[in-house]
């Protein structure tokens, strides 16, 4: 859907009707490559850089009729979601060289090439839609929402190609964000469409961050820790940051539980697992021993807004981790010749290897002091101590489980992984001293 917003009103200009949906198309390939629909699309996006776009022409030739304005018709002869319980059919499988991958099957070169191909086509469709939206509205600002707007690689291309001057993406761009939309619609209807309240809001990001969830006092946290018989130390705020910096410098994996929980699919520094982006071993340690997830998946960097352009080809805010940009060329390492596919993981790709994907890209989160002062100060102190202003930031959960919300969630996740330390409120916990270490993990979570 393309709409033109004025004040509190949105005029719908163009729309594609079901079943001709870019989200459904991407989900069909997600399922074909062995990932779960409506949760594994980001894995397909992460797998894409390992492959080549060998099937892009076949997708454009056989699966859809793409128009210059970004609209398209799906060829439903290749899909099964209207008639059955699967997304694709035998004709689709023949086109891409074999049956769908099962979740526990090895990932082959073909799957990487399929992922790269649909990612390439998706980016082309989104670029055409963005250019058309600019042409029909004449506007210089673009807001994006919907599940496809979580495709941060495509979002980064829209920004870099300068189709619009400014880009804002709803942090809960998937179905969860519909709750915000419903609340805002009711507010505007109750105010009879009066736009005065809107005009008084900040022009760049009226949400002012996505920290909308519950928070817990130190007393509530300590009550939980005592109930578990946890071993912990309490520090004042200044000492807490110094201790955390020292742990990160020592390549420790640190659970970070502070303030209000994030709204949306990304951990943005309040329910996070943090690490040193300079560490060559951090990606594999976090993937295999802490998150229990596939080794190919990259981790995101978090950096202060004023420092982002020093590390990445981006000079734009990305507070919700929804933009991908290249790592600066001067920070990159040349890859050994002949490396392909998952073997690319063996090479150190930059001076920030823990957050540099195999195509030298990174999914960036920027932090401003007014929105998250504690995380901002941690980054500042880490840079003063190490000369590096970037940390690894990933969600505080294991594969197949939701992001932790409560202190109880955080402690249970902490003791059942190989996370090294937990910093929760003003409390610091060492996993090796905990009485319940790994006692409760009898079955590894189902992998999505």
Q: Answer yes or no: is pLDDT of 234 > 60.
A: yes
Q: How much is the average pLDDT of 262-276?
A: 95
Which whole-number Å values give the CA distances from 15 to 18, 85, 436, 440, in the listed order? 10, 26, 54, 49
Average pLDDT for residues 243-262, to the nearest whole number? 97
Q: Is the pLDDT of residue 195 over 70?
A: no
Per-residue pLDDT tens over the stretch 34-84: 999 988 999 999 999 999 999 999 999 999 999 999 999 999 999 998 887
Q: What pLDDT does 288 receive?
A: 79
Q: What is the mean pLDDT of the chain?
A: 91
Model confidence band, residue 443 (pLDDT cutoffs 50, 70, 90): very low
Q: What pTM was computed for the model?
A: 0.90
> Which pLDDT score is estimated for 445?
41
User: What's the confidence (pLDDT) of residue 243?
Assistant: 98
Mean pLDDT confidence for 332-356: 88
Given a cut of 70, whether residue 198 has pLDDT beyond it is no
pLDDT, position 330:
97
Closest CA to 427 of 198, 203, 236: 236
pLDDT band at 441 (very low <50, low <70, confident <90, very high): very low
Task: Sort residue 41 into left (φ over 0), alpha (ψ -120 to 50) or beta.
Answer: alpha
Distances (CA, A) of 248 to 105, 239, 241, 354, 366: 35, 14, 11, 13, 19
Statement: residue 337 has pLDDT above 50: yes
Range of 104-108, 240-244, 331-335 with top mean pLDDT: 240-244
CA distances from 7 to 137, 171, 208, 344, 417 (A): 15, 21, 19, 49, 48
Q: pLDDT digits over 104-161, tens only?
A: 899 999 999 999 999 999 999 999 999 999 999 999 999 999 999 999 999 999 999 9
Residues in the chain: 448
Residue 19: cis peptide before it, omega within 30 degrees of 0: yes
- Residue 321, classed as helix, strand or coil, is coil
Q: Is 180 exposed, middle or buried (0-12, 13-18, 19+ CB in 10 A)?
A: middle
User: pLDDT digits over 77-100, tens only?
Assistant: 999 988 878 899 999 999 999 999
Is the confidence at residue 446, as pLDDT, over 50?
A: no
CA atoms within 13 A on the CB side of 358: 23
Look at 230 and 238; give whichever has higher pLDDT: 230
pLDDT-derived band of residue 447, with 50, 70 and 90 as boundaries?
very low
Q: Does domain 218-433 match CATH 3.90.870.20?
A: yes
pLDDT tens-place string over residues 422-434: 999 999 999 999 9
Q: Which of 409, 402, 411, 407 has the alpha carbon at shortest distance from 448?
A: 402
Per the DSSP assignment, residues forming a β-bridge with 303 are: 366, 390
Residue pLDDT, tens place only, 358-387: 999 999 999 999 999 999 999 999 999 999
pLDDT value for 203: 57
Radius of gyration of the chain (CA): 22
Q: Which CATH class is domain 2-170+172-199?
A: alpha beta
Residues 6+ apart with CB under 8 A from 400: 292, 445, 446, 447, 448
Residue 400 is predicted with a pLDDT of: 81
pLDDT in tens, 157-181: 999 999 999 999 999 888 888 888 8
Q: Lowest-pLDDT range, 346-350, 351-355, 422-426?
A: 346-350
Q: Answer whether residue 201 shows pLDDT above 60.
A: no
CATH code 3.90.870.20 region(s) in the chain: 218-433
Q: Where in the chain is the domain with CATH 3.30.420.40?
A: 2-170+172-199
Residue pair 290/419 in contact (Cβ under 8 Å)? The answer is: yes
């Amino acid at each position: 859907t393309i709409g033109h917003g004025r004040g509190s009103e949105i005029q719908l200009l163009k729309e594609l009707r079901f079943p001709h949906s870019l989200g459904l198309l991407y989900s069909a390939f997600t399922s074909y490559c062995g990932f779960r629909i409506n949760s594994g699309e980001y894995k397909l996006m992460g797998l894409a850089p390992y492959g080549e776009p060998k099937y892009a022409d076949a997708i454009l030739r056989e699966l859809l009729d793409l128009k210059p304005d970004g609209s398209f018709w799906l060829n439903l002869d290749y899909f099964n979601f209207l008639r059955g319980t699967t997304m694709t059919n035998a004709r689709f499988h023949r086109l891409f060289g074999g049956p769908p991958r099962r979740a526990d099957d090895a990932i082959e070169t073909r799957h990487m090439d399929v992922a790269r191909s649909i990612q390439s086509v998706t980016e082309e469709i989104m670029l055409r839609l963005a250019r058309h939206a600019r042409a029909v509205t004449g506007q210089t600002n673009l807001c994006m929402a919907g599940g496809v707007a979580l495709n941060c690689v495509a979002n980064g291309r829209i920004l870099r190609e300068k189709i619009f001057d400014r880009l804002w993406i709803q942090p809960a761009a998937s179905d969860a964000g519909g709750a915000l939309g419903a609340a805002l619609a009711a507010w505007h209807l109750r105010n009879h469409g009066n736009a005065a309240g809107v005009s008084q809001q900040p022009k760049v990001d009226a949400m002012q961050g996505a920290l909308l969830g519950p928070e817990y006092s130190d007393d509530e946290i300590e009550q939980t820790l005592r109930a578990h018989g946890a071993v912990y130390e309490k520090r004042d705020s200044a000492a807490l940051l110094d201790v955390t910096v020292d742990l990160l410098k020592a390549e420790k994996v640190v659970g970070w539980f502070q303030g209000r929980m994030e709204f949306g699919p990304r951990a943005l520094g309040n329910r996070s697992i943090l690490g040193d982006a300079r560490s060559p071993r951090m990606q594999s340690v976090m993937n295999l021993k802490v998150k229990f997830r596939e080794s190919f998946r990259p981790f995101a960097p978090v950096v202060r807004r004023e420092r982002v352009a020093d590390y990445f080809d981006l000079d734009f805010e990305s507070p919700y981790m929804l933009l991908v940009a290249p790592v600066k060329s001067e920070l990159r390492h040349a890859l050994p010749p002949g490396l392909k596919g998952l073997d690319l993981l063996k090479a150190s790709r930059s001076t920030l290897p823990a957050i540099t994907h195999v195509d030298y890209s990174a999914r960036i989160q920027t932090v401003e002091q007014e929105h998250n002062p504690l995380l901002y100060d941690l980054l500042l102190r880490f840079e003063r101590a190490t000369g590096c202003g970037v940390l690894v930031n990933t969600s505080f959960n294991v594969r197949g489980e939701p992001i932790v919300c409560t202190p109880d969630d955080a402690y249970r996740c902490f003791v059942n992984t190989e996370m090294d330390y937990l910093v929760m409120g003003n409390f610091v916990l060492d996993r090796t001293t905990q009485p319940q270490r790994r006692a409760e993990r009898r079955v590894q979570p189902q992998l999505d």
